[in-house]
Amino acid sequence: MIQDQKSVDGLQLEKPKSKLLSWGWSALKFLALFAVIYTAINWWRQPVMPADPQLQLTDYQGQSVDIEALSHESPVLVYFWGTWCPICSTTSPKINSLAQSGNYPVVSIAVQSGSNKDIEQYMTEHNYSFTTINDESGKIFSDWEGQVTPSYVVLKDGEMKQGLTGIQPEWSLKLRLWLSSLF
């Protein structure tokens, strides 16, 4: 008699496999496929650092922001978003929390989101306090070959270490910043 089969009246019957085991393998295969596809899409959509990036900017309040200088002290998260972006309404509170923690500098770039006054009103209404550059024309985002909002870049020592797009949990961003501080 074979281990996975039984014989009844000369007929060979297969022993039923565990449904839970079968479901577990299916779920694992699905998650692996999802991870591969997600990574490929994220790599394709991520911003690309320009050859000569403009990293000395002015925020919507008129304050000078030197992203390169900040990145020599610790990794900096650059967050591209828009007031018009529905996904950004989910990610911006996490960015605000990350910025308020003070562990790493966060500089956001509001892409085609109106005038400085519009940005100020939006930031006040949502109680956001992260540093924000107004990219009114979308030129900065275009220079970084941005394709989607939200997009994120981790800069360290004036160089791009990582690029991401879409919804990112706060813990993932913290982990990426921490790893960038080590390497």
Q: Let me know if 118 is exposed, middle or buried by CB neighbors in 10 A (0-12, 13-18, 19+).
A: middle
Q: Does some domain include residue 62?
A: yes
147: confidence class by pLDDT, cuts 50, 70, 90: very high
Instruction: Tell me the C-alpha to C-alpha distance, in Å, between residue 62 and each of 65, 120, 126, 131.
Output: 9, 11, 20, 11
Could you give the CA distance from residue 100 to residue 120 in angstroms, rounded to a whole number?
A: 18
Domains of the chain: total: 1
155-176 residue pLDDT tens: 999 999 999 999 999 999 999 9
Q: Does some domain include residue 133?
A: yes
Is residue 62 classed as helix, strand or coil in its secondary structure? coil
**Across the chain, what does the average pLDDT equal?**
89
Domain hosting 79: range is 56-182
Whether 61 contacts 89, CB under 8 Å: no
pTM of the model: 0.79
Q: Does some domain include residue 115?
A: yes
Q: Does some domain include residue 91?
A: yes
Q: Does some domain include residue 105?
A: yes
**Is the model's pLDDT at 5 over the cut of 60?**
no
pLDDT at 37: 75
pLDDT at 8: 56
Structure tokens at 39: 């990574």
Could you give the CA distance from residue 65 to residue 81 in angstroms, rounded to a whole number?
A: 17
pLDDT at 111: 98
Is residue 26 classed as helix, strand or coil in its secondary structure? helix
Q: Does some domain include residue 46?
A: no
Q: Does some domain include residue 1?
A: no
CATH value at residue 102: 3.40.30.10
Q: Does some domain include residue 111?
A: yes
67-106 residue pLDDT tens: 999 999 999 999 999 999 999 999 999 999 999 999 999 9
